[in-house]
């Protein structure tokens, strides 16, 4: 009996030990090392940053599309006023050749600025096709190209504004100091 009790106690202890090991193995996930945890946190942060970057690019493109019509309307209204001044003053006999030439130059500058801005937006859209942190630097190269183009666009904008303020407006003001050339119509005899 002593022998059976010892064998039974030993079997019972072995079963309890195996059950405990199986229960622990099922409930606890394999332990990750601190290096693995840091890598996982880094990947999560990169995914969050990539999402924020993509949203920011979409916002910039949407802002361009929203403001495009407004900018075109302002430019066309300003140009129409200057053309009206040229037409009216020419009809009255004023020399508007300098203003007309400067208006053409200003128009070309505005068209260049619009083309450069469209290039900037297309560069941003091309950058969107790449995934930040996973494209092997292609995304950041595209973003750097867009940034360089943005500097060109900003300079174009300053040039257009400066041209209007320092050339076009003074030309209009100079018309006031001119004396119109009076054209005498030949007298008709009945």
In this predicted structure, what is the pLDDT of residue 185? Answer: 47
How many angstroms separate the Cα of 77 from the Cα of each of 13, 70, 81, 141, 174? 94, 11, 6, 38, 21
Q: Is residue 111 part of a domain?
A: yes
Q: Is residue 80 part of a domain?
A: yes
In this predicted structure, what is the pLDDT of residue 158? Answer: 92
Q: Is residue 10 part of a domain?
A: no
Q: Cβ(54)–Cβ(128) under 8 Å?
A: yes
The alpha carbons of the chain give a radius of gyration, in whole angstroms, of 38
Residues 6+ apart with CB under 8 A from 128: 54, 57, 58
Q: Is residue 12 part of a domain?
A: no
| Closest residue by Cα to residue 54 from 120, 148, 136, 132 | 132
* Domain assignment of residue 68, given as a range: 44-177
d(CA 134, CA 125): 17
Work out the burial of residue 14: count CB atoms within 10 Å of its CB; fewer than 13 is exposed, 13-18 middle, 19 or more buried: exposed
Q: Is residue 187 part of a domain?
A: no
Contacts of 55-62 with C-beta under 8 Å, sequence gap 24+, read: 57/124, 57/127, 57/128, 58/128, 60/121, 60/124, 61/121, 61/124, 61/125
Q: Is residue 182 part of a domain?
A: no
Q: Is residue 141 part of a domain?
A: yes
Could you report the per-residue pLDDT of 63-99, keeping only the tens digit for each? 888 887 788 888 889 989 999 988 998 888 888 889 8
| Closest residue by Cα to residue 121 from 67, 48, 47, 49 | 67
For each of the chain's 190 residues, which pLDDT tens digit applies?
A: 677 778 767 777 777 777 776 666 565 555 578 888 888 888 899 889 888 988 998 998 888 888 877 888 888 899 899 999 889 988 888 888 898 999 999 999 999 988 998 999 999 899 888 888 888 889 889 999 999 999 999 999 899 999 999 999 999 888 888 877 765 444 455 4
Total of domains in the chain: 1
Q: Is residue 38 part of a domain?
A: no
What is the end-to-end Cα distance of the chain in Å, rounded? 157
């Amino acid at each position: 009996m002593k022998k059976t009790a010892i064998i039974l106690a030993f079997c019972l202890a072995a079963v309890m030990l195996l059950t405990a090991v199986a229960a622990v193995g099922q409930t606890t996930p394999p332990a990750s090392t601190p290096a693995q945890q840091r890598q996982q946190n880094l990947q999560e942060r990169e995914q969050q940053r990539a999402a924020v970057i993509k949203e920011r690019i979409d916002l910039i493109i949407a802002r361009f599309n929203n403001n495009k019509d407004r900018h075109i309307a302002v430019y066309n209204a300003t140009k129409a006023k200057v053309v009206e001044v040229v037409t009216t003053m020419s009809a009255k006999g004023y020399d508007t050749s300098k203003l007309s030439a400067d208006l053409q130059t200003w128009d070309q500058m505005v068209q260049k600025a619009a083309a450069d801005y469209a290039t900037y937006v297309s560069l941003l859209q091309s950058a969107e096709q790449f995934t930040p942190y996973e494209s092997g630097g292609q995304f950041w190269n595209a973003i750097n190209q867009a940034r360089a183009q943005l500097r060109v666009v900003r300079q174009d904008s300053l040039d257009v504004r400066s041209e209007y303020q320092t050339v076009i407006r003074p030309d209009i003001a100079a018309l006031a100091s001119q004396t119109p050339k009076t054209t005498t119509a030949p007298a008709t005899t009945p």
